[in-house]
Amino acid sequence: MIAMRKAPKIYLCGTISTTMDKKDFLSQVFLELIKAIIALVVAGGATGILTQFKERLPSSFYTIFLYVIWGVIIIMLAWIALSVVFGDSPKKLMQWIKNRVNRKDISRKLKTWCDKYLELADLVSDVAKTDWQITDVQKESYRYLHIWFELKRSDILPFWQRFYHNRTNPANMDTLSRGDLEWVTLDEHWRDPFSVFYEPMTLNLLQSILKRWNKNEIIYVLRKLKELNLEFTAWTLLRYE
């Protein structure tokens, strides 16, 4: 049985919380207005009392005290206003800000992941085209990318698996032949198909793993993974930007 959730309440800025009808919302606004009026009355009273002692206080002290009183009142009024706009408490605002920061961080990580994988795919493709004539620069570049992906994979894989399970036919496996590199990559390593090319510690080790497949198949699979990576990144960013 699927549990039905209550309809959310939506405040002025669209923040969602628990159920609240129009009457309850207006009551909350009225209560916050009363608090605002009380705050203004207190501020006016405090200003009046301070004025009585104006002649006895140094002018700089009087100005400072006045700024402090009205500064506190402005903060209180802002807090009250945020309570109306963001719900039961301005904590909603802090949560909203935190969520926005997290979403931007996720977006940044996904974009970087995508860029790095395109870089890796191009590197391995270039090496494969030369029949694995590997230069020292390529060795160092691959080593760096291997370390980078190993450090970042735990941040990205939960999003990849969510994307994978939301595709109707994630890898078109019905069109693949068992044993093909594409099948091995997308079936045996479906939890992280990209790891087939970044998990080996060196290019020489990657070469020994891929030696059963010809360079055209390797380049084709790398191109397919680049397309899949772009699709995955775009799909996820739509949900976090």
> pLDDT class for 106, splitting at 50, 70, 90?
confident
Q: Do 224 and 105 fall into the same domain?
A: yes
Q: Do both 115 and 230 map to the same domain? A: yes
Nearest residue to 195 (alpha-carbon basis) of 208, 184, 204: 184
Tokens matching residue 71: 């500064």
Say how many domains are in the chain: 2
| Tens-place pLDDT, residues 26-77 | 666 666 667 667 766 776 676 667 676 666 666 666 677 767 776 777 776 6
pLDDT category, 237, cuts 50, 70, 90?
confident
108 and 134 inside one domain: yes
For range 178-191, the mean pLDDT: 72
How many Å apart are CA 54 and CA 48, to the nearest integer?
A: 10
Pair 151, 113: CB distance under 8 Å = no
63 and 120 in a single domain? The answer is: no
Q: Give pLDDT, residue 2.
A: 33
Is residue 2 one of the residues assigned to a domain? no
Is residue 119 domain-shared with residue 230, that is, in the same domain?
A: yes
Question: What is the span of the domain harbouring residue 26?
Answer: 9-89
Whether residue 123 is found in the same domain as residue 231: yes
Are 106 and 223 found together in one domain? yes
pLDDT digits (tens, 9 = 90+) for 126-174: 999 998 999 999 999 999 999 999 999 998 988 888 888 887 555 555 5
How high is the pLDDT of residue 10?
A: 33
Q: Residue 141 domain-assigned?
A: yes
Token reading at 101: 């920061």
Considering the entire predicted model, what is its pTM? 0.56
Lowest average pLDDT, out of 14-18, 56-60, 95-99, 204-208, goes to 14-18
Confidence of residue 4 (pLDDT cuts 50, 70, 90): very low
3-state secondary structure (DSSP) of residue 224: helix
Residues 169 and 56 in one domain: no
